[in-house]
Amino acid sequence: SKNNGKNQTTVFRDLLHDEILEYVELQSNLKNALTAGEFELYYQPQFNMNTNEMIGSEALLRWNSPDKGIIPPDRFIGIAEKTGFIIELGDWVIKEVCRHIQEWEERKLNYGKVSINLSGVQILSSAFLNHIDEIFAAYDIAPKKIVFEITENVAIDDSITTIAKLEALRALHFEVALDDFGTNYSSLSYLKKLPIDYLKLDKSFVYSLGQDDKTGAITESIIYMAHRIGLKVIAEGVEKLEHMEILKKFNCDFAQGYLFSRPVSKSDFERIYLED
Ligand code: C2E
Ligand code: CA
Ligand code: CA
Ligand code: CA
């Protein structure tokens, strides 16, 4: 009825209002949060599927808000990208990883490699490579200890600029991973144009393994093809033993997921994986 419609509109308007309020609030809080030291890096270990040894970890951003608790990145990365704040935040992430690696080097801990997520906004900004130079000039860290992750859509959307930036990173001896592979167009043909070292199979893809034969056939083919063009494959979102067994059968190289570990704080990561 007419009345119902009106109620729904009101409900909708209130929801929208709340969302906008939250958005505006988050946006202004982000900068203060960085200054106040409310951001923290968690680490999720990655494993070699054949030897089971830990080969490294992915750094994942967390915001410890004093009044809202732990806010996951999906809630604020998009906003930070729209305001451009992601560039400052992204620089902080790289510096923080460098600081941690330096400490692990000094303590002679075997941390493997560390993967850092790059936003498209960050990598496409004109100052990106200068920022990389400046940050790494301040630390004595072998670039081969760092893997930069970029998502598939960034790689496709602006492929010429992206390719140039990735080539520059690899010329500096950093490694590059293509993240979330399998979520978008997944055209295999552009893979050969991208200067990358790893392909990360998206968790939505991994999750369907064992549920239908086609996903299995496609996954096996992707891994086979990735190997043929010299890429190593990391499966993300490995939650079940069954996923692990299927991926192993398909010769997948590395795995990351709740089956092994959730992302954990730096101190937990050190205690569980780095110290003996
Ligand atoms: P992503 O790069 O695809 O990271 C993997 C996400 O999957 C992480 O979520 C991780 O906690 C989650 N995950 C790991 N194993 C499993 C599993 O077995 N099952 C399931 N269901 N999920 C699993 P998280 O930490 O919430 O991060 C979400 C996204 O936020 C990341 O997706 C990445 O796109 C972005 N992000 C995180 N840290 C940063 C950062 O420092 N910079 C930028 N630009 N983006 C970041
Ligand atoms: Ca990632
Ligand atoms: Ca991913
Ligand atoms: Ca993702």
pLDDT for the residue 36 = 96
Tokens 């998009």 label which residue? Answer: 78
What's the whole-number average pLDDT of the chain?
91
Confidence of residue 17 (pLDDT cuts 50, 70, 90): confident
Q: Is the CB of residue 17 less than 8 Å from the CB of residue 10? A: no
Residue 86 φ then ψ, to 5°: -60, -25
pLDDT for the residue 2 = 47
pLDDT above 60: residue 263: yes
Cα 200 to chain centroid, rounded: 10
The string of pLDDT tens digits covering residues 225-242 is: 999 999 999 999 999 999
Ligand 1, pocket residues at CB < 6 Å: 44, 60-61, 72-74, 77, 90, 93, 117-119, 179-180, 203, 236-239, 257-258, 263
Residue nearest to atom 35 of ligand 1 (CA): 73
CA distance 241 to 268: 24
Q: Is the CB of residue 132 less than 8 Å from the CB of residue 165? A: no
- In terms of Cβ atoms closer than 10 Å to its own Cβ (0-12, 13-18, 19+), residue 230 is exposed
Q: Which residue out of 236, 240, 260 has the highest number of ligand 1 atoms within 8 Å of its CB and is therefore the one to mutate?
A: 236
- pTM flag (> 0.90): yes
The string of pLDDT tens digits covering residues 76-96 is: 999 899 889 999 999 999 999
Which tokens hold the place of 174?
A: 């950093």
Count CA atoms closer than 13 A to 74's CA, side-chain side: 0
pLDDT for the residue 187 = 65
pLDDT for the residue 262 = 98
DSSP code, position 84: S
pLDDT for the residue 20 = 78
The interface pTM score, or ipTM, of the predicted complex is 0.98
The string of pLDDT tens digits covering residues 22-51 is: 777 777 789 999 999 999 999 999 999 999
- Ligand 3 centre to CA of 179 (Å) is 5
Over residues 201-225, mean pLDDT: 89
Q: Is the CB of residue 203 less than 8 Å from the CB of residue 247? A: no
Q: Which atom of ligand 1 is nearest to the CA of 60?
A: 38
Nearest Cα residue to 86 out of 27, 15, 157, 174:
27
- Ligand 4 centre to CA of 155 (Å) is 14
DSSP code, position 139: S
The string of pLDDT tens digits covering residues 100-148 is: 999 999 999 999 999 999 999 999 999 999 999 999 999 999 999 999 9
The string of pLDDT tens digits covering residues 149-183 is: 998 777 777 788 889 999 999 999 999 999 999 87
Which tokens hold the place of 258?
A: 């709740």
Cα 172 to chain centroid, rounded: 21
